[in-house]
Amino acid sequence: MMNKVYVLAIARDVPAEDYRLYLDPMKTRRYGRLLKRALATALKCMHDSGVSHPDAIINGTALGSWDDSEHMLRGLATEGEQVSMPTHFMLCTHNSVASMIGIYTHTQGYNSTYSHGSVSFECALMDAFLQLRSGQAQTALVCANDELTPELQQHLTQLGITGWVAADRSLSVMLSVAPGAHPLYELTGVRIVHTKDKADSARVIYRKI
d(CA 50, CA 174): 10
pLDDT digits (tens, 9 = 90+) for 67-82: 666 566 665 667 766 6
pLDDT digits (tens, 9 = 90+) for 42-54: 999 999 999 999 9
DSSP one-letter string for 165-184:
S--SEEEEEEEESS--SS--
pLDDT digits (tens, 9 = 90+) for 169-194: 999 999 999 999 999 999 999 999 98
Output the pLDDT for position 76: 60
**Number of other CB atoms surrounding residue 167 within 10 Å:** 11
Question: What's the order of all strands across the beta sheet hosting 185-193?
Answer: 110-114, 56-60, 139-146, 169-176, 5-12, 185-193, 201-208
State which residues of the chain have pLDDT below 70. Answer: 66-77, 80-92, 94, 155-156, 161-166
The predicted model scores a pTM of 0.87
Q: Find out whether 11 and 42 touch, Cβ atoms under 8 Å.
A: yes
